[in-house]
Amino acid sequence: MPNRHHLKQVMDRLQQPERRRHPPRSWTVMMVDVDHFKPLNDQRGHRYGDACLRQVAQALSGTLARPDDVLVRYGGEEFLALFPSASQRDAPGLAERLRGAVEALALQHPASPSGCVTVSVGWASHSEQTGELDLDALIAQADLALYRAKCEGRNRAVGMA
């Protein structure tokens, strides 16, 4: 799985001169974090935690539908999904697809209230009507939304437009 440094290459590719004639009109970024991951690692061990992360990454990757959609491991148990051309209207459904794909794995997690591995998702969207794209600001907004999802009980998707 590519890491967060891969995002720069992706953004450079998406903004190449031949793509600038038809750049995406909207962008959505999603931050995805595995809920209660530290207790999982502590109780089941790092090998189980690593295997869990691989399965979560595979499930998340399986939800990407468009050729330019990108998923990277952002750090630890956190992933970032970039959806060029996904609007604010598309975002809640995409976020729910990510969340549901992980929940459907039904991976055991003794420290989770549900008994299985879940994720929280925070998303933020940008459209060309709001000005030039600032990916760092969009990531920061998605991260704030992720924090809200965690505070509201986890295993949910929360967005900011």
Residues marked as catalytic: 77
Name the helix (H) or strand (E) containing 50. helix 46-61
Round to whole Å and give the CA distance between 125 and 160.
7
DSSP code per residue over 89-153: TTHHHHHHHHHHHHHTT--B-TTSTTSB--EEEEEEEEEGGG-S--HHHHHHHHHHHHHHHHHTT
Element (H, E) at 155: none
CA–CA separation, 136 and 134 (whole Å): 6
